[in-house]
Amino acid sequence: MATLVFGFLKNYLSEYLFGFDKNQFKLSMLSGNVSISKANVRPDKVNELLDEYNLPFVIKAGMLTNLHCKIK
């Protein structure tokens, strides 16, 4: 199950993040918590998203240290 969830998230998030693998992915089935740590940000794609919402920010480089999600 964790492999299926990881594959789905990697496929979806790879447009905005890169450089993360299964070692940086944690899934707790009982609580529904998902964590990804130390993933690099794709500045070009994130900037497109920021422009779409007219936000006054520009990303030159970055790392997402921790992303926590709760799946219900």
pLDDT means over runs of 10, the chain (72 residues): 80 86 84 88 94 94 89 78
Distances (CA, A) of 42 to 27, 49, 56, 71: 24, 11, 18, 25
Check residue 28 and give its pLDDT. 85
Cβ count near 50 (within 10 Å): 15
Check residue 12 and give its pLDDT. 86
Check residue 45 and give its pLDDT. 93
Cβ count near 2 (within 10 Å): 13
Task: Point out which residues pair with 21 in neighbouring strands.
Answer: none
Check residue 50 and give its pLDDT. 93
Asked whether the whole model's pTM tops 0.85, one would answer no
